[in-house]
Amino acid sequence: MINYRFIIKKKLGEGRSKVFLCSDADNPEKEFAIKVLPVTKDIHEIKTFRDEFFTLQKLNHPNIITSHEEGIVVEDEVQWDIKKGSRFITLDYFPGSELLEYEKLNDEKNLKIILSQICSVLYYIHQSNYVYYDLKPENILVAEPGGDPVIKLIDMGFAHHSSSPERNLRRGTTEYIAPEILKNENHNHQVDLYSFGIMLYRIIYGKFPFNSKSQLDIYKEQIEREFEFPESNFSLQLIRIIKKFLAKNPLNRYNNSLQVLRDLDLNLDENIIKDFIPANVFVDREDATTQINKFLIDKESREVLLISGVEGSGKTSLIYKIYSAQERITVLSNTGKSGLGFVHYLLKSVISSEYVHSFLSKDIIEQAESILTDNIDNLVTGLKSVITKISI
């Protein structure tokens, strides 16, 4: 069990991080995926991992996986070789297969349904001023919950906002990186459309459009080689789309993914349009962030700071902005729990906090565990005692 809550059921996959299926002791009726970054990873990997969580928190689209919590593992999970100090993110569990493993991918009707969803989610990401940077089959899951295929993007680790100072750094997976990135030129969201083209080429032809195996040779072919587009079992319509995706000059590519829907002869119906509203953007309020940061570093203050505002005014965005920059914060979500359930949730969150747990004595941990297992005579007195000791 991770942090007194997450019970690992099985391993789902492994890349830069390990992904497991788990249940939550505080929410047992639902299964989750938990993504674990090993403790051995460097500072850059940790930053990328946390950035992915905060990016997912800002995005809301039916074809993007939903994130819930992030944190640090406070005790070893021996059975699954998860070490203390590893970071984790909890996500919705989507029981799908990777795109290239989807059995009906060779059916052009199903492929067009999938392509329309990829176009929709890319348009949403780009309208929200993000570039995805890592579009590839391994990052797309496909399932058929209602008969037709449904996709989810599951990895936002390389995604960057247009305002990010790191935006122009080279990133992505070797075989999918656009020429303008490789040439260290200014670029925009059209690099994702190039990656889309490489991915679609693989689907249509069963291979990459280049023969090289080494990274440097692949880069050279991406920049210089004019790819070949022989006949295939798919329509000329799809091949024409791939050609436009893979134009070396971004000015000759599609300007946005909606244009692809037009060339696929797909109508912009209500089901697609409703998901185009871009992500809410936190407009930087220096006065608010300065006031909150001053409050957080004031060790003498015993006051409580209340952040209030009408619905949609950006309270949650403000809190997560502060949370992403501060190390000594625990964010408690509105779980709807009350009574003993809320007490357990509160206590688990506090003692599993990265900052708090590092200072806890064995006595406090044992006392907290007694409360969590209901092995205590007076719940209120016990909880007050633990919180008081933590506060000292």
| Strand ranges (E), 50-168 | 67-72, 87-92, 97-98, 130-131, 140-143, 150-153, 160-161
Q: For 110-133, how does the pLDDT look when each residue is reduced to its tens digit (9 = 90+)?
A: 999 999 999 999 999 999 999 999
Q: What is the pLDDT of residue 284?
A: 57
Per residue, what are the HEC states of the chain?
CECCCEEEEEEEEECCCEEEEEEECCEEEEEEEEEEECCCCCHHHHHHHHHHHHHHHHCCCCCECCEEEEEECCCCECCCCECCCCEEEEEECCCCEEHHHCCCCCCHHHHHHHHHHHHHHHHHHHHCCEECCCCCHHHEEEECCCCCCEEEECCCCCCEECCCCCCCCCCCCHHHCCHHHHCCCCCCCHHHHHHHHHHHHHHHHCCCCCCCCCHHHHHHHHHHCCCCCCCCCCCHHHHHHHHHHCCCCHHHCCCCCHHHHHHCCCCCCHHHHCCCCCCCCCCCCHHHHHHHHHHHHCCCCCCCCCCCCCCCCCHHHHHHHHHHHCCCCCCCCCCCCCHHHHHHHHHHHHHCCHHHHCCCCHHHHHHHHHHHCCCCCCHHHHHHHHHHHHHC
Other CB atoms closer than 10 Å to residue 233's CB: what's the count?
Answer: 8
- Chain region(s) in the chain for CATH 1.10.510.10: 97-273
Q: For 246-299, how does the pLDDT look when each residue is reduced to its tens digit (9 = 90+)?
A: 999 999 999 999 999 999 998 777 767 777 778 766 555 667 788 888 888 777
| pTM above threshold 0.85 | yes
Mean pLDDT, the chain cut into blocks of 10 residues (392 residues total): 95 92 92 96 93 94 95 93 95 97 96 96 96 97 94 94 77 95 94 98 97 95 96 96 98 96 85 74 68 80 79 77 78 76 86 84 88 79 87 74
Cα 130 off chain centre by: 13
Q: Does domain 97-273 have CATH number 1.10.510.10?
A: yes
Q: Find out whether 181 and 158 touch, Cβ atoms under 8 Å.
A: no
Place of tokens 């209500």: 270
Q: What is the pLDDT of residue 67?
A: 95
Q: What is the pLDDT of residue 253?
A: 98
| CATH-assigned architecture of domain 1-93 | 2-Layer Sandwich (3.30)
- Chain region(s) in the chain for CATH 3.30.200.20: 1-93
DSSP states along 316-384: HHHHHHHHHH-SS----------HHHHHHHHHHHHHT-HHHHTT--HHHHHHHHHHHTT--S-HHHHHH
Q: What is the pLDDT of residue 285?
A: 63
